[in-house]
Amino acid sequence: MFKLYVRDLLKGVVGSRVGCSVAGHIIYVLAYADDMVLIAPSWRGLQFLLEVIGKEAVNIDMLFNTNKTVCRPRLCISIHMINVKL
């Protein structure tokens, strides 16, 4: 059942079209079980993804554990927002 809820969250993130180019593929989010890693090309992009996922979470009455939340800047090798290099 949980995977049905997470699928809606993931669709929202992918639909945002904010991600990083890794080995020729645009990566938006990494997810395994109830863990998620948002991949963004900038602080602004990350904030946008957090807003997108926050809105989706409200729709399904889901909360996030902010005590486990960290930010690792500068992991994107080639930074892109679909068809636009930053």
Which tens digits make up the pLDDT trace of 35-59?
888 888 888 888 888 888 888 888 8
Which tens digits make up the pLDDT trace of 13-40?
888 888 888 888 888 888 887 788 888 8
Model confidence pTM above 0.75: no
Tokens 């049905």: give the residue: 4
Instruction: Say if residue 31 is exposed, middle or buried (CB neighbours under 10 Å; 0-12, 13-18, 19+).
Output: middle
